[in-house]
Chains A and B, each alone.
Chain A
Amino acid sequence: MSNFGIRWPGDSFINRGLAASVLALLVAAGLFGIVGCGSSGNSSSSGNGGDEIVIAMLPKLVNIDYFDACQRGAERAAEDLGIRLIYDGPSEPSGSEQNKFIETWTRQGVDAICIAPNQPKTIKRFVEKAKERGIKVLTWDSDAADSGRDLMVNQVDDKLLGETLIDDIARQMNEEGEWAIAIASLEATNLNTWRRYAEERALSHYPKMKLVETVVTKEDESVAREQIELLLNKEPNLKGIIAFDSNSVPGAAEALKRTGRAGEVALTGNSTPGRMRPYIKEGVLESFYLWDPRALGNLTIRLAVKIVNGEEIAPAMPIEGHRDLVFSENDSTMVILSDPVRFTKENIDEYDFGI
């Protein structure tokens, strides 16, 4: 006689094992079924079946300081407005992983999805599906202009930032000499748009400056340091570096410090005050730029709610806690959060962006 009071055919050990496995699988399948039902039940309750507005927000990746700060700003806005916020995303900057989140939220029927796309070209199909279900779609942090999104909330004017960076480094280089670029990836739309504007302005305004190299730093500060050290060895006459992302700037600063080229090679870019404070206080670089990521998350949610409520988003519209809305000169569906803040040794302690 076997377990459970069942007589197993043949009563052999193998058959009992096989049957037990099948039983276990059936139990597991049943449990998954129950869990599955449970989760779909949750899905409908998190959708827009009720009166509560549900906004889903998708960062490029989770668990990094910049997007954590954006999340805090978004949560603050959700609390103020009394809406439900679902903030989630991939653990690495993957476009395909992001699309799974969009698909799930579309099935759940949330009211709006706010996306910071890693691979803008791949989201179009998913945005179309969401819009077919009546879901409003916004992009933030990085755009996917051809995706059919309703609105883009940009942290800064791309052209202004790209040109500000090249103007700053040109001034530090006395508008002549060799300069180089460090960038996290060649895919991120926002970083490469700033890069393009900086390169164009260098060609048109600074004829004595020569771009000698572009290095990709793979969103890793350690890779950035190694690549910049290599660059400094390869280009002994290098006079300036623009680093376009939060890892490349501290990586480049560390490389300048270790190679003893700080002061000799100018550096600027976009990074977070928390990471750059030691370098800027030591004089490794003169300045860097950023915006308040909490304000970016906050403004994105506030605008998403307005769109869901059917309000028209127009220039000079007052938004609580933010300046009156400013739109991009080149794109009437792109809102600009603010001008970039220039951080220096003198003012870095005056700001608290939470990162």
Chain B
Amino acid sequence: MFRRISKSIRQRLLFLTAGNLLLMGVILANLLSGDDSTTASALDRFGTVLMDAGPNVAPVILAGLGLTGIIFAGALDLSIGSMMVVAGTVFGILFSRGFDPAACFLGCFLTAFVLSNFNGLLIRWLEISPIIVTLAGLTFYRGLALIMADAFIPDFGGSIAVHDDAYHGPGQRYPGQILLIAILAALAWETWGKLPRVWLAHGCSPEACRLHGLKPGLILQSTFFAGGIFLGLAALVDVTNRQNLEPARMARGFELEVIGAIVLGGTNIFGGEGSFLGTILGAFFLYFVGQTLLYADVDLYYREAIQGALIVIVIGVDCALHRRQKLLDELK
């Protein structure tokens, strides 16, 4: 896999791996230095930090893997958060109408999958920029979710309470397992599969792909197809981890969180360059930054500012190092 990705991406992956380890080290050091904690209890709590990380970051990584493929091909989907809201609303409607858990899970997954594919079709048919289509989807889908909830849930008052444990399996009992399988599948596909490379080629030049005998429209559609599968899983894990589903409020800013992880992971937002592994590491990095600031007792008012600044610093330092390396390469 490493041979197939560019040197700059490889460098970013190493940088993020080191960053994640450093952040985990800071958390552990803070736990060990606590006044009233023994080494055993500090290690135990550090274990909890690690065990919680996967499930907590699962929706971002799952949706991120799907969106990474879309960005590989030079497209973008800004409506992933809103599509998750529609998926959650369908789940809530089915739950409120007494459907069994399996039907609710399937409804949730398929809704996100179908909407993602619908976005792909719209982009192909209308030949409009993906940013414009999905920017419209950002508000359209949330509105659609509210209309559906109002129409199909009796006395809908803004939220749908789901307090039956049977309906929380994927999000509460198996999020780590779902995430692990999805990550392994994505990495294997990236290593041995042809399609991710075709997406990257499309991201570099759709015209070159066409001249090579490939069909750019179908390539673009396939990214939304694969993205829909990952988004369906993300919606399933996120929705079934909530006790109350609020279409007006849930998943707000989710798309920005996901895009942040992807860009931090080294994927070029204009397409043609990137890696699934970078997205995974980027998502964990963002998660651990937030955790570290809290464990390090950083003042509440400074946390968000530092979080933003750290992202710029990481990308800035990495780019500066990369630029220097590039210059040296050119001199050779």
Seen from chain A, the residues whose Cβ lies within 8 Å of a Cβ on chain B are 61-69, 91-92, 186, 213-216, 218-222, 226, 229-231, 233-234, 236-237, 247, 250, 254, 258, 274-275, 278, 354-355
Contacts and interface: CB of A to CB of B under 8 A. Distances in A.
B91 to A, nearest CB: 14
Contacts of A63: 146, 158, 247-248
15 contacts: A63-B146, A64-B246, A65-B157, A65-B158, A69-B157, A91-B139, A91-B143, A186-B301, A213-B294, A216-B300, A222-B241, A233-B49, A247-B249, A258-B172, A275-B244
B36 interface: yes
Interface string B24-58: 00000000000011000100010011001000100
Contact of A65 (B36, B41, B142, B159): B159
Nearest to A212: B297
A222 B242 contact: yes
Given A63-B248, A186-B301, A274 B48 contact: no
B323 interface: no
A91 B143 CA distance: 9
B300 A233 contact: no
B243 interface: yes
A281 to B, nearest CB: 10
Interface of B: 36-37, 41, 45, 48-49, 52, 56, 139, 142-143, 146, 157-159, 161, 163, 172, 238, 241-244, 246-250, 252, 291, 294-295, 300-301
A62 B157 CA distance: 11
Which 10 A/B pairs are nearest by Cβ-Cβ distance? A63-B248, A65-B158, A64-B158, A65-B157, A278-B163, A233-B48, A68-B158, A214-B300, A222-B242, A65-B159
Given A62-B248, A236-B45, 13 more contacts: A65-B158, A68-B158, A91-B139, A218-B252, A219-B249, A220-B250, A226-B56, A230-B52, A231-B294, A234-B295, A250-B243, A275-B244, A355-B157
A211 to B, nearest CB: 11
A229 B45 CA distance: 11
A348 B291 CA distance: 36
Nearest to A254: B243
A220 B244 contact: no
A221 B251 CA distance: 11
Contacts of B52: 229-230, 233
The residue in B143, B146, B172, B252 that gathers the most chain A C-beta atoms within 10 A of its C-beta is B252
A274 B157 contact: yes
Nearest to A232: B48
A104 to B, nearest CB: 19
B243 A230 contact: no
Contacts of A65: 157-159
A91 B300 contact: no
Contacts of A66: 158
A239 B294 CA distance: 18
Given A220-B250, A233-B49, A278-B163, A250 B158 contact: no
Nearest to B142: A91
B243 A91 contact: no
Contacts of B159: 64-65, 274-275
A222 B250 contact: yes
Contacts of A213: 294
Nearest to A66: B158
Contacts of B48: 233
A177 to B, nearest CB: 12
B161 A274 contact: yes
A242 to B, nearest CB: 15
Contact of A92 (B41, B243, B252, B301): B252
A254 B161 CA distance: 13
A63 B249 CA distance: 9
Contacts of B163: 278
Contacts of A62: 248
